[in-house]
Structure 1
Amino acid sequence: SGSGKSTLLGLLAGLDRPTEGSIRIHQTDITTLTETEMAHFRRTHIGYVFQAFHLIPTLTALENVALPLELQGISTGTSRAKTLLKSVGLEHRLHHYPVQLSGGEQQRVALARAFIVQPPLLLADEPTGNLDSSTGAMVIDLLWELHQQHGSTLILVTHDMSLAARAQRILTLRDGAMVNETTHPLPSSGPAV
């Protein structure tokens, strides 16, 4: 806590601006983008899974997942959202509102929403922080499976070293600075974590 992990993700997502330096994602220096350009870049290049789910309470699971595509004017949003919700085991909960879903179900909706635009970069900020250990393990397995299927680069913030051990590269932060880096061989042509 307080090491700067969530701040780093906020910077990578363009939610915060650095006081100096630059941030390059897919050959784009996001620090030079206007707010409108950054919002568009985020919608098309970055998926974000929050610890606190951040689902819109007045939208159903299906509507929450389809929303990013609807905002882009893509008409296949509902169909793709149904497919993703099925892939996370929630085909029977499409028309339920967040308040009607368990924490694990809400996080699976959030995962589906993050992957709906097929982002090349997925940021996950303590995605199991509000879940019990068995539900958290199931959500992480789904996150890894979707990450592998979509070929996204995954940047995962966690306090859980057993979870971090699954990653190709581990950066340890303390007081806002990187204090250690560990690299593991990339497993059989899988995408980077």
Structure 2
Amino acid sequence: MAKTKEFTRTVELPVQRVYDVVSSTQYLTTTDGMLTETEAHIVSADREVAEDGEVRAQVTVSNHAPNPVEEPGAVGEAGGSGKAGAEADEGPELVTTQTTIVSVPESDGSFRMIANTPLPNAMGEMSTTFYFQPTSEESTQVQVQVMADVKIPIVGGTLAKKLLGSSEGTVDNGLARVVRLDEGWSE
């Protein structure tokens, strides 16, 4: 079941500087400047610029899904280990590849960025479309549409809604990263 969410944000940077960051190798293929720590590990990353100027990137990441945490009293019950909290074993490795396309800017500087990420175990796909347009010489409006398409009968709609629930925070962190990288952030 597919569900969408739309919202608008403003970045206090000129649209050309936003474009320079979001089309860069650093933004598209690294975790540089991220606000939150991530458990994901970049396995491979590639960025290319087409003859028409469109930028395409593919980043493959791996992450371990957490195993369900058992209560300490569960030792011996159905093979329970009794591990809880930080002691719980890591679950299976999840590997996914995000594809991002950044369009060539229009005459006014407006451009689109589309990021598609398949969900683990072929459950569906997340797609985020950003439309960046200048609102003044010093700011850029960002119209965002996030789509979660979960192909699991019965629970698909609930899972899609949950995925969309965190989308605004994820986008806010990504836009804050744009500002940090524009300011010359370094570790």
TM tier relative to shorter chain: under 0.3
Larger Cα-atom Rg: 2
| TM-score normalized with structure 2 length | 0.27
Higher helix share: 1
| TM-score normalized with structure 1 length | 0.26
Structure with larger RCO (C-alpha < 8 A, sep 6+)? 2
